[in-house]
Amino acid sequence: MFSLLAISLSLLLQSPFGFVRADVQPFNSYPNDFVDPTYIVAGKFSNATTGAQQSIISWAESISAYGPWSVTDKPFNAPSGDPKDYVSWAPYWWPNCTGVGNTTELTPQQIWVTCPYYQRDGQFNPDRLTVDNIGAFTNLSDAILYNALAYSFQNEPSSSYSQTIAKFVDAWFLNNATGMNPNLNYAQMERGPNGQVGSHTGVLDLKGMAKVVSGILILRQRNCTDWTEALDTQMIAWTNQYINWLETNKLGIDECASLNNHGSFCFNQLTSLKLLVNDVQGSINSSNTYFKGIYQGQINSTGDQPFEATRTHPYHYRNYNLAAMITNARILKYADPTSNPWNLTTKYGATIQDALNMVMTVDPNASDEEYAVAEIFPNIAAVASTYGDPDGKYVAFLQKAFPEYPWDGDFLWDQPLAGNPGSTDAGSNSTTGTTGTKDASGASAVKALTPLTLIVALIFGIGAVLL
Ligand SMILES: *[C@@H]1O[C@H](CO)[C@@H](O)[C@H](O)[C@H]1NC(C)=O
Ligand SMILES: *[C@@H]1O[C@H](CO)[C@@H](O)[C@H](O)[C@H]1NC(C)=O
Ligand SMILES: *[C@@H]1O[C@H](CO)[C@@H](O)[C@H](O)[C@H]1NC(C)=O
Ligand SMILES: *[C@@H]1O[C@H](CO)[C@@H](O)[C@H](O)[C@H]1NC(C)=O
Ligand SMILES: *[C@@H]1O[C@H](CO)[C@@H](O)[C@H](O)[C@H]1NC(C)=O
Ligand SMILES: *[C@@H]1O[C@H](CO)[C@@H](O)[C@H](O)[C@H]1NC(C)=O
Ligand SMILES: *[C@@H]1O[C@H](CO)[C@@H](O)[C@H](O)[C@H]1NC(C)=O
Ligand SMILES: *[C@@H]1O[C@H](CO)[C@@H](O)[C@H](O)[C@H]1NC(C)=O
Ligand SMILES: *[C@@H]1O[C@H](CO)[C@@H](O)[C@H](O)[C@H]1NC(C)=O
Ligand SMILES: *[C@@H]1O[C@H](CO)[C@@H](O)[C@H](O)[C@H]1NC(C)=O
Ligand SMILES: *[C@@H]1O[C@H](CO)[C@@H](O)[C@H](O)[C@H]1NC(C)=O
């Protein structure tokens, strides 16, 4: 107990703002990202990323407490009757029972199959969470990413973080009793008398595959002993079946052909999963299909995103698709280091950077999206670290709107990026030196801070996630 206290105390004392602030940020689930495993495995993190590393360790531990997850954990099965089929309900669809007679007599189960459903864009039907396979997968994808990063901070072939990943991957994907069937036939099901089948929009539910792949590639490249040959072989087999479904089932084909964020996120899955199965050329091909295809129409000459600007939550959707475009660019850059996705222009002559610059001029309040303010922060960090920030406008924006950004997890991989005034090498591009938190004592110290983190999370936590 004494030693734990001493460690916490020393950690606080060496933290840039002493006792004034928490060392970790509230849990953050980014809409999507792909974290270059080679950069992580090299482990040459600037001292400025110490706070981000502490947040990541804390996030790995907090999100893992909800796992393991399985699609079989739901109150009813898909119409197939197979508990291993993934299920979610179309979030913006509502029943209209006026035409079906005695509505007061209908149980919820009868409403699902009796009343016609119709769409109200942007308005969640609260009963969508009756089945929460989607929440489970989102948490799983964060757990795999953050545990893999936490594992990478330790110089060990095995750790509790990588053991957790092995356990979670088995439960969700591979285990004979609980593993998900490799398809999304019942994702975002539209209910009603003619419904009970998935819609292509449901493919979006698994966009976090890019995080899953990042995590697994890190374990693989680090020769993690918990990521066994058997796990790797089974995961590749599962993924090959799922890729086949994505590329041949009408739902997958239609989703990747969607002109808006749905298409962009669909390619996040396809291109990252092909890396998982070691089909690098296939991944590059799919990236090219994206960048020569739907990307061409996604950013116009004023930097706006026509297919997102017209939605009910335009600030959210612009940032959402930006996250997907950034993820597609990161995956292609990793798969083919000679490629230059950041400079690829749409048919209107615009780049991803132009899209971000435009969103930076938008006031989220103008569309009553005050809740979505934070969605731009990881996009700014990604663009600043990729294109550079010669006039300091990205850092200035972050310092004003989100001064804690060097403690946010993505600061680890969105480098170089100026920030962290308390660090010995604030704002430098230094790639030398590692940090004092890459060991078990750092992890313990962070655990000791968790109650404070929870309070901060309760105060500042942003729960709203739109689809
Ligand atoms: C609900 O159903 C009634 C009767 O079938 C129909 O007249 C009405 O237009 C429907 N409303 C909506 C919003 O679909
Ligand atoms: C409608 O509900 C009432 C009250 O429960 C019941 O008496 C009546 O038989 C029902 N009518 C039909 C057509 O189902
Ligand atoms: C997912 O994690 C959030 C916290 O980030 C939690 O509120 C939620 O209950 C979790 N859901 C599942 C299904 O694990
Ligand atoms: C997997 O489960 C199925 C039934 O769901 C059973 O028929 C099969 O034998 C099981 N396979 C293994 C390897 O346990
Ligand atoms: C992993 O193993 C391979 C093959 O033995 C080796 O070349 C590589 O350096 C190892 N990577 C790490 C990070 O230890
Ligand atoms: C990639 O695309 C090229 C050119 O279209 C094609 O010849 C090749 O077979 C594709 N390779 C894979 C692995 O998809
Ligand atoms: C770009 O798209 C936005 C949103 O649809 C639109 O308001 C704007 O006029 C477009 N700009 C051009 C030059 O077409
Ligand atoms: C947005 O509105 C909130 C209050 O609803 C206010 O606190 C905030 O300053 C506003 N932001 C801008 C940029 O006007
Ligand atoms: C864009 O292309 C130019 C010229 O090839 C290159 O110098 C620059 O680094 C590229 N920008 C990015 C963000 O890759
Ligand atoms: C990083 O921090 C360590 C430990 O505090 C220190 O020894 C090292 O000099 C620092 N590196 C740089 C580049 O500041
Ligand atoms: C980071 O590196 C870039 C390119 O090498 C340089 O232009 C920039 O000034 C550096 N930033 C800092 C803060 O040293």
- Give the ligand 10 atom nearest the CA of 430: 13
Tell me the mean pLDDT in the region 418-424: 65
Can you state the percent helix, strand and coil of the chain, rounding each to 5?
55, 0, 40
pTM of the model: 0.84
CATH class of 31-94+124-256: mainly alpha
Give the helix ranges, DSSP H, for 18-131: 37-42, 50-64, 108-114
Instruction: Please check the confidence at residue 102 and state whether its pLDDT lies above 90.
Output: no
Question: For the segment 121-152, what is each residue's pLDDT rounded down to a tens digit?
Answer: 889 999 988 999 999 999 999 999 999 999 99
Task: Using most ligand atoms within 8 A of CB, pick from 50, 424, 432, 439 the residue to mutate for ligand 10.
Answer: 424
- Give the ligand 8 atom nearest the CA of 363: 13
Residue 1's pLDDT is: 38
Task: Using most ligand atoms within 8 A of CB, pick from 395, 429, 430 the residue to mutate for ligand 11.
Answer: 429
Question: For the segment 307-345, what is each residue's pLDDT rounded down to a tens digit?
Answer: 999 988 999 999 999 999 999 999 999 999 999 999 999
CB of 386 sitting under 6 A from ligand 9? yes
Residues 6+ apart with CB under 8 A from 59: 24, 27, 28, 142, 146, 409
> Which residues approach ligand 7 with their CB closer than 6 A?
300-302, 304, 306, 309
**Over pLDDT 70: what percentage of the chain?**
85
Residue 422's pLDDT is: 55
Compute the distance from residue 212 Cα to the ligand 5 centre, in Å: 21
What ranges do the domains of the chain cover? 31-94+124-256
Q: What angle do CA 140, 245, 213 make, to 5 degrees?
A: 35
Alpha-carbon separation of residue 118 from 133, 205, 229 (angstroms):
22, 20, 47
Question: For the segment 172-201, what is each residue's pLDDT rounded down to a tens digit?
Answer: 999 999 999 999 999 999 899 987 889 999
119 DSSP assignment: E
CB crowding 113-147: b at 16 or more within 10 Å, else e = ebbbbeeeeeeebeebeebbbbebbbbbbbbbbbb
Tell me the mean pLDDT in the region 228-240: 98
